[in-house]
Structure 1
Amino acid sequence: MTTNPTPHVPNRPPAPSATPDRLGGTRLAATLITLATVLVGLMAGLFFAFDVSVMPGLAAGDEATYVTAMRAFNKAIDGNPLFGSVFLLALLAAAASAVVEYRGGRRATALWVGVAAVAYLAVLVITFGVNIPLNNELADGGAVEQMTDFSIVERFKTTWVTTNIVRTLLCTAALTALARATLLHGRAAR
């Protein structure tokens, strides 16, 4: 009587995993994508809140209230280091993530993070080119009680509000690209 020995199963190579690169590999990339996603999400939420509640609410009031409230909002934001950190670190985290992903050979992920970085860079360009100059003009208008020309309010109701909607859309696009990058990164890291 012959016994059947256990059939020999050839050694299988371990499942492929993402190869770490010189900059810390997949863990660093995952951390940077997550950080960029959270920061861009916070900015998208801020812009969206202005779009759907703050600006329509102010537009329903009188011009002096509009000016007073916008000045207070801008002062609170300008003097807040947490806001400044989130505002600028979102771009840095996305750009750094794109570089780490690219160097790690994860080109598709790097492309999506790069798209997010470019969309968010456009947000910064609009902010520094349009919104901040209008904020400064509003701040330099003198005491509200002595203002006779409220044409700045019309520029806020048209230009500032419109560019804020564009910033919201760009942040949402960046957030979507980061979500896609996160998915691709997860697949590559398995």
Structure 2
Amino acid sequence: MIERILPILTFFSAMGSGLIAGLFFAFSVFMMTALARLPSAQGIAAMQSINVTILNPLFGLVFTGTAVACLFLAITSCFRLGEAGTGYLLIGSLSYLIGSFLVTIVFNVPLNDSLAAIDPSAEGSSGQWARYIASWMPWNHVRTVATLAALASFFMAFRLSG
């Protein structure tokens, strides 16, 4: 049974990692730069809106579902070390779990929560916005690299496992 589930979960994890990598990549490459070019009140309001609308069932399925699949793959991989592609499954799973899921929960979500409490038109909001961008972006870069590494690792796992 596990032999039939592993390829499906690996495929799902690869697809999920790729989708999330694309999202994080877009924010790293142009979205945050575009928002930072707006007057701070508009940039804050836009990011607040993004942070609310991203919390939807489809995003939740991809982001959290990939994490659940990676957790299963990581645990399973620990018992199958030495088999073709298993090391890549473990690396991919840990890359996603730590570099995407954990970083998001520990760093990006608290920053988003603090941004949600800001009145975009309040005095001092432009300084808070600048600090938000300066703190949020490096962690998003980490997430981007981690999800791309996860995708590449899952691809290699497929390739080596036949």
In the superposition, the TM-score normalised over structure 2's length comes to 0.89
Q: CA deviation at 1:98?
A: 4.3
Q: CA deviation at 1:104?
A: 6.4
Superposition RMSD on alpha carbons, in Å?
1.8
Q: Is the contact between residue 25 and residue 100 of structure 1 (CA under 8 Å) also seen in structure 2?
A: no
Distance in 1, Cα, partners of 2:2 & 2:105: 34
Greater relative CO (CA pairs within 8 A, separation 6+): 2
Question: Where in structure 2 are the equivalents of 1:137-156 lying within 5 Å?
Answer: 137-142=114-119, 144-145=120-121, 147-150=122-125, 151-156=127-132
How many residues align? The count is 160
The 1:37/1:179 distance shift into structure 2, 3 A limit, reads same
Q: CA deviation at 1:106?
A: 6.1
One-letter code of the match for 1:37? A
One-letter code of the match for 1:109? G
Distance in 1, Cα, partners of 2:94 & 2:78: 16
* Deviation digits for residues 54-74 of structure 1 (CA, Å, limit 9, x no counterpart): 111111111011101000000
One-letter code of the match for 1:30? P
Secondary structure at 1:113 match in 2: helix
- Are 2:100 and 1:126 aligned? no
The 1:182/1:65 distance shift into structure 2, 3 A limit, reads same
Q: CA deviation at 1:169?
A: 0.4
Distance in 1, Cα, partners of 2:106 & 2:80: 35
Q: Which structure 1 segments of 5+ residues have no match?
A: 1-23
Q: CA deviation at 1:152?
A: 2.0
Q: CA deviation at 1:163?
A: 0.7
One-letter code of the match for 1:90? T
Identity %: 32
The 1:101/1:135 distance shift into structure 2, 3 A limit, reads closer
Q: Which residue number in structure 1 is paired with residue 133 of structure 2?
A: 157
Distance in 1, Cα, partners of 2:102 & 2:75: 21
Q: Which structure 2 segments of 5+ residues have no match?
A: none
Q: Which residue number in structure 2 is paired with residue 96 of structure 1?
A: 72
* Segments of 4+ moved more than 4 angstroms: 98-106
In the superposition, the TM-score normalised over structure 1's length comes to 0.77
Distance in 2, Cα, partners of 1:121 & 1:136: 21
Secondary structure at 1:171 match in 2: helix
Say which one has the larger Rg.
1
